[in-house]
Amino acid sequence: MAFVRKRSDPARGLTPGWNSLAVAAGVGLLVVFLAWFAGPGLFGISNETKGTTVQAEVVQPAPCTGGATERVKFEFGGAPMEGSLNGCGHGQGERIEVVVPDGAAGDAVSVHAADATAGASDARRPLGLALLVFSCFAGGMYVFLVLRGPRVPVTA
């Protein structure tokens, strides 16, 4: 059984052509490009470092087995400080860049490597864009199906 539109269908003039499909595709691409240029903040990705980046020296290195924490010393606010770095594999006396949280004071300062951001994943942006492209495609197909109208089976 084939599904064909009857010639006497009053909604025949609403049948989408290539022009309307090209406009829908163009709008979808525009939405994706605007989302791409809006930056990582659109998908909740924040690359801000909350703290100050300083040079630190590894005082007590830790091997990379289990939960390794190294001790580092650095100068912050004009005073020498010592803190714990959640990392491993550095050599004693090695100089690394760490981020000290704003308002850090005392001896129990927890720092992290400057080139690492806690909780950030670079896979979120491409995944968010892929989902956006899929939703644009799904919306365009829905509009196409609504404009096309129902198909009526032709009986011979």
Domain ranges of the chain: 51-119
The pLDDT score that the predictor gives to residue 95 is 92
Alpha carbon distance 149, 93 (integer Å): 73
pLDDT tens digits, 82-126: 888 888 888 889 998 888 887 777 667 888 787 775 555 566 677
Taking the model in full, what pTM does it have?
Answer: 0.46
Confirm if 104 and 76 have CB atoms less than 8 A apart: yes
Amino acid in the structure at residue 47: N
Confirm if 88 and 63 have CB atoms less than 8 A apart: yes
List the one residue out of 49, 51, 53 whose CA is nearest residue 96. 53
pLDDT of residue 13 exceeding 70, the answer is: no
Q: Which fold has domain 51-119?
A: OB fold (Dihydrolipoamide Acetyltransferase, E2P) (2.40.50)
Distances (CA, A) of 30 to 85, 131, 133, 135: 44, 15, 11, 13
